[in-house]
Amino acid sequence: MVPGLLALALVLGVVAAALAGLALAAGPSLPVVPWGYVGGVVAFSLWQALVSTILSLALGAGLALALARRTRFAGRTLLIAAMNLATVLPAIVVVFGVVTVFGRAGWLGEGMRALGFDMGSWLYGLPGILIAHVFFNAPLAARVFLAGLAAVPAEHWRLAAQLGMGPLAVFRFIDRPVLLREAPGLAGLVFLLCFTSFAVVLALGGGPRAATLEVSIYEALRFDVDFGRAGVLAALQIVLGLVLVLPILRLGTRAAEAAATGFVEARPDVEAVLPKVLDALVLALGTGLVLPPLAAVALSGARALATLAQPEVLASLATSVVVAIPAGALSVALALAFAGLTRRLRIARARPRAADAVSLAGLVILVMPPFTLAAGLFVVLRLVADPFALGLPLLALVNALMALPLVLRQVEPPLMLSAERYGHLAESLGIVGTDRLRLVDAPLLRRPVIVAFAAATALSLGDLGVAAFFGSGEFVTLPVLLHQRLGAYRMDEAASVALLLALLAFAFFILAQHFSGDGRAGDR
């Protein structure tokens, strides 16, 4: 109970301190807010998120259906691997890949120029933002949909075959209910991710007409040092975010499960012509969107490998690791304390409302703009210490908090499962405290904790956001270095850093996959 209350106090304290710091810095007078500008930013944030969500879910559903129907074709495994990788790639690496493929000086631009067309800088603004968002989120949606389709009982397929259902009937009675069941939660999640998108919009957006709230807060703090405006923007983001997040929490989004690789029962609609044509189109589109940017990161990076040996790259790698690993560990520790507290409230004390409130406190971070946290803490810490000296711990702390919702989603279910199965037994035998953690919970928790640690560390490693805020100062993380090099059009040097980041993200993904494979292995 005590660790949980401490974790709760830490999270709420940091959030409160950050908000207080921002208010303090803004001064007593109400900030002068350029409402026209702010309205434009809000409208663009919502609009691009809406379009990104629709496109991502549509392509994701198409890909899931195509992969479910076509269980063997050349390159299927490669496509699934590429889709998995796309969902875990740091945003700034995606930006690099997208620019390299679709940019004016990229593969597409050069190709068109060879044919006599100049594409111009079409990519910057809404098109580039949409491409990058769909690149991440369509594979994410496809994984969730595919997992849902794979869970359809074999009897349903046998029944469909027995009843002689055509492809439309199969879609209507079997596929569509699955897609509709998964769509609301998924749409909420993708919308929120795009609404709060930072790195993609910072790198590919342009000016106030293509900025999200997150980017505007960054600009207000970083370039204009206007704490008042940042505070207003942050408040807007928090309010809009809560309005968006609360219904999602009710829906209870499921974590994306690993895509099933094979379907036991043959679907009766694989031979029909219409699905064949549709699937071919969708697979071509998906492959065309997902593979080239990944290939660009790999190829350009491999060509520029020599530039990796520069001292600044090595220093950034060290900085990133020094920040990310403690951030991952802290996030897991906080999540365990949180989940332990909610479990106790929910089960032992039978106080589900209180437990929900604590869970919600852990998730509020989802809508909290990271710069607001960083800037507020910066202002508060300035009163007691040199904030730049505290930069690394501060960065690790904010990254740990940002990863908290993700980690909570991993560790809460097994802790609850352990309590449901063995809670009474442990109570009746008097197994409490660390004994309970060691003997009762640990076997069910070990895998989820490793998965969560890998995910949180990878998130922190790839995070451009908060690191960019402190950016140019003493320490530069890998994503910041990549962003600087992209901004300076030093593409070769950017390429090697992008590849390094992609490989790191992939390594953590493999680690997580390895341990998440069969979460029930310790349970027989």
Q: Which is nearer to other proteins, 348 or 389 (CB)?
A: 348
What crossing angle do the helices spanning 273-303 and 35-69 adopt, rounded to 10°? Answer: 120
Tokens of 20: 């207080």
Site string for other proteins, 315-354 (x = CB under 8 A): -----------------------------------x----
For 263, half-sphere exposure in the C-beta direction (CA atoms, 13 angstrom radius) is 27
User: Which tokens hold the place of 91?
Assistant: 């945003």
Tell me the three-class secondary structure of 18-69, residue by residue.
HHHHHHHHHCCCCCCCCHHHHHHHHHHHHHHHHHHHHHHHHHHHHHHHHHHH
Element (H, E) at 304: none
Nearer to other proteins, 9 or 439 (CB): 439
Q: Single out the residue of 302, 439, 488, 507 in contact with other proteins (rule: CB under 8 A).
A: 439
- Residues 221/371, Cβ–Cβ less than 8 Å: yes
Q: Measured from the CB of residue 438, what is the shortest distance to other proteins in angstroms?
A: 8
Q: How far is the CB of 444 from other proteins (least distance, A)?
A: 9
524 forms part of the interface with other proteins (CB under 8 A): yes
Q: What angle do CA 208, 189, 79 make, to 5 degrees?
A: 100
Torsion of CA 98, 91, 203, 288, to 10 degrees: 10
Looking at 183-191, 246-254, 351-359, 416-424, which segment touches other proteins (CB under 8 A)? Answer: 416-424
Is residue 353 within a helix (H) or strand (E), and if so which, with residue range?
helix 352-363
| Residue carrying the six token digits 């960054």 | 218
Write each residue from 504 to 523 as x if it is in contact with other proteins (CB under 8 A), else as -, in one continuous string. Answer: ------------------xx
425 binds other proteins (CB under 8 A): yes
Q: Which stretch binds other proteins (CB under 8 A): 63-71, 84-92, 301-309, 430-438?
A: 430-438
Per CB under 8 A, the list member of 31, 40, 443, 519 interacting with other proteins is: 443
Give the separation between CA 305 and CA 307, rounded to whole angstroms: 5
Query: Binding other proteins by CB under 8 A: which of 176, 250, 424, 514?
Result: 424
Nearer to other proteins, 288 or 522 (CB): 522
**Structure tokens that stand for 427 in this block:** 């109570």
Report, in Å, the least distance between residue 524 CB and other proteins.
5
| Cβ atoms within 10 Å, residue 516 | 19
Least distance (Å) from other proteins to the CB of residue 415? 15
Nearer to other proteins, 57 or 426 (CB): 426
| Closest to other proteins by CB, 112 or 348 | 348
**What is the nearest approach in angstroms of other proteins to the Cβ of residue 516?**
18
**Cβ distance to other proteins smaller for residue 302 or 429:** 429
Compute how many other C-beta atoms are within 10 angstroms of the C-beta atom of residue 483. 24
The single-letter code of the amino acid at 141 is: A
Secondary structure (DSSP) of 79-120:
HHHHHHHHHHS-HHHHHHHHHHHHSTTSHHHHHHHHTT----
Which positions from 348 to 387 touch other proteins by CB under 8 A, shown as an x/- string?
--x-------------------------------------
Whose Cβ is closer to other proteins: residue 334's or residue 415's? 415
Q: At closest approach, how far in Å is the CB of 422 from other proteins?
A: 6
Cβ distance 233 to 180 under 8 Å? no
Q: Return the closest-CA partner of residue 132 out of 101, 98, 104, 167.
A: 98
Residue 430 makes contact with other proteins by CB under 8 A: yes
Q: Give the residues lining the site for other proteins (CB under 8 A).
A: 350, 421-422, 424-425, 427-432, 435, 438-440, 443, 522-524
